[in-house]
Structure 1
Amino acid sequence: MVDISTGTARLEKLDGEADSYVLHVNGVPSSSITLSDPTRLDFEYLDWMRRAIDVVLPAGSLRAAHIGAAGCALARALDATRPGSKQTAIDIDAALLGFVREWFDLPRSPALALRAGDGAAEIGTFRPDTLDVLVRDAFDHDSVPPALQSPDFFASCAEAVKDSGLYVANVPDSGDHGVLKSELNALGEHFAHLAAATEPAILKGRRRGNVVVLASNTPLDTAGLDRSLRTAASVATFLSGKGLRSRLGL
């Protein structure tokens, strides 16, 4: 265990694995990393995110930003599968960024630049219409910081993301869908097309878990997204458009 700017971090080696680790930040599992295979994403919601990105933006390099870096698992996977991509990973914890750069031998800038700062402020530093992908996966313990759920934040995200690009977020859902509905309503003020993917039990309100939210100003390939998410190792239910609004009562 090591001290970081916001508390503590520790690496847990997975039993029976030669070089696979789970990074815990302030006691919360935050990233799963396999050093020899950057494409391996053990956290199911990260696999769903990568699948969504591959369907919506199926070819070529990407300009991507990640708000909430942790171990940079998704950024490592995109770097391995999208040669020539330029990514920026932002985390409020400067010390954590130093450790993960050391522990995980991350790609160097400009392939992957690490930036310490408040994501709510840093999103405003990107030029308009420059990002193909913007990922928000930032937590304070088990909740998203309020500044990353504000109207100003979502407006800045929409300004930075290309019309053909994709906003992707990890939204914690406690069963009543309150946070999820609030974020979808806020995103709907700035993005024309919304979708969500999660486990059926979470959607039915039976347990807490991760919901991956997608937003774009270009129509989403809903059939392709549904097909890809149904073939994931952990199958996700995909909803968009009227189906999403009806299911959540939006």
Structure 2
Amino acid sequence: MERRTGSGLASVEAEQDGTFVLRVDGSPQSQVDLADPSHLSFEYMRRIGDVVDAIAPRRQPIAVVHVGGAALSLPRYVAVTRPRSRQIVLEPDEDLTDFVREALPLPKRSGIKVRPVTGRAGITELYDDSTDVLILDAFEHEAVPANLVTAEFFAECARVLRPTGVLVANLIDGQAGLPFIRRTAATVLAAIGPGAVLAERKILRGKGFGNVILVASRHPLPDLVDAGRRAQPPYDAMPLQDLAGKATPLTDAAPFTPPRAPASVFRS
């Protein structure tokens, strides 16, 4: 199936293992296992799943906000592992959401509510202290939107998170010294609090372009090192403040351009 949407030409294709991949203009966005939504195929999504599993017991309902929707892989994961969870997805491309719902239907009473609004606008409409986990996983043309990584945006995230709430942000970088990730880490640290950085060692050493997960909370986080060691491929977990160092936080007033993933990079 394929359909022209606001994000581009969207298609859903069946894989040999029974999963389905959503692509937009040929770029993989999400992979969904309708038979087992707890199966997360993309490596970065499995890391986010590790974070959710570490902070909330399975079967325990939680309140989750997702900035970015695509094929709703992570909302499906939470819905099946923690039934009765309340989930809000901020996804501005309503045509894409309609296409995904048709091609990859959500189960009845999933608790997943998709709002056709940008992350920046949608976050301002949420109640204070209403969210256990806020997941940022939004891209435009293979880059994180600049207005979703500033001090002003993360201040709104801090407002809607409960005292024990956790921010999880999926970013990409591969530039020497990881300037974008370091500045975003400094921004998150200042707006929300300490946490961890999850990524393959080669990425953290600046020897490759790929996904970096930032985790932050005002409440102490559980240890994520063991989960990283067990993962395939394994990933490192380092303190957020170590990566931030003396980097300058990002703001709306200071223009910058988040890095764009090369065409050869598969965001998995």
What TM bracket, shorter-length normalisation? over 0.9
Corresponding position of 1:128 = 128
Which secondary structure does the structure 1 equivalent of 2:124 belong to? Answer: helix
TM-score, normalising length from structure 2? 0.86
Bigger mean CA deviation after superposition, 185-194 or 118-127: 185-194
Task: Name stretches of at least 5 consecutive residues in structure 1 with no aligned partner.
Answer: none
Q: 1-side partners of 2:135 and 2:64: how far apart?
A: 8
What per-residue deviation string (whole Å, max 9, x for no partner) do you get for residues 107-162 of structure 1? 45671011111111101111011100100100002111111122211110010011
Partner Cα separation in structure 2 for residue 186 and residue 238 of structure 1:
19
Q: 2:84, 2:168 → 1: CA distance? A: 21
Amino acid aligned to 1:102? E
Contact kept? 1:168, 1:214, Cα under 8 Å: yes
Contact 1:28–1:141 under 8 Å retained in 2: no
Alignment partner, residue 111 of structure 1: 111
Match for residue 62 of structure 2?
A: 62
Q: 1:125 to 1:21 in 2, by over 3 A?
A: same
Residue type matched to 1:156 in 2? E
Q: Does 1:183 align with 2:184?
A: yes
In structure 1, the residue matched to 2:79 is: 79
Q: Residue 156 of structure 2: SS of its match in structure 1?
A: helix
Change (3 A) 1:241 1:34: closer
Task: State the alpha-carbon separation in 2 of the partners of residues 244 and 56 from structure 1.
Answer: 22
Relative distance call for 1:244 and 1:221 in structure 2 (3 A) is: farther
Residue correspondence of structure 1 range 1-250 to structure 2 within 5 A: 1-14=2-15, 16-17=16-17, 19-59=18-58, 60-108=60-108, 111-176=111-176, 177-222=178-223, 225-240=224-239, 243-245=242-244
- Alpha carbons 1:154, 1:187 under 8 Å: kept: yes
The match for 2:252 is none
The 1:209–1:237 alpha-carbon spacing in structure 2 relative to 1, beyond 3 Å, is same
- Cα distance, 1:103 vs. partner? 1.5
Label 1:200 to 1:120 Cα distance change in 2 as closer, same or farther (>3 A).
Answer: same
- TM-superposed CA distance for 1:83, in Å, is 1.3
C-alpha distance after superposition, 1:62-87 (max 9, x if no partner): 10010100001011011000011010
**Take 1:242 and 1:186, find their aligned partners in 2: how far apart are those partners?**
10
| Structure 1: 4+ residue segments shifted above 3 A | 107-110, 241-246
How far apart, in 1, do the equivalents of 2:247 and 2:127 lie? 35
Identity rate, percent? 31
What are the superposed Cα offsets for residues 173-208 of structure 1, whole Å, 9 maximum, x if unpaired?
A: 123311111111111122221211011111111110
Contact 1:175 1:204 in 2 (8 A): no
Kept in 2: contact 1:192–1:216 (CA 8 A): yes
- Aligned counterparts of 1:145 and 1:108: Cα–Cα separation in 2: 32
How many residues are treated as equivalent by the alignment? Answer: 245
In the alignment, structure 2 segments of 5+ residues that lack a partner are 249-268
Q: Which has the higher helix share?
A: 1
What's the TM-score once normalised by structure 1's chain length? 0.92
Name the Cα RMSD after superposition.
1.8
Cα distance 1:242–1:96, how it changes in 2: closer, same or farther (>3 A)?
closer
2: CA distance, partners of 1:12 / 1:240: 38
More displaced stretch, 143-152 vs 125-134: 143-152
Contact preservation (8 Å) 1:90, 1:119: yes
- Counterparts of 1:106 and 1:199 in 2: how far apart (Å)? 32
Structure-1 separation of matches of 2:118 and 2:247: 33
Counterpart residue type for residue 237 of structure 2: F
Q: Go from structure 1 to structure 2 and tell me whether the alpha carbon gap of 1:138 and 1:234 turns closer, same or farther (over 3 Å shift).
A: same
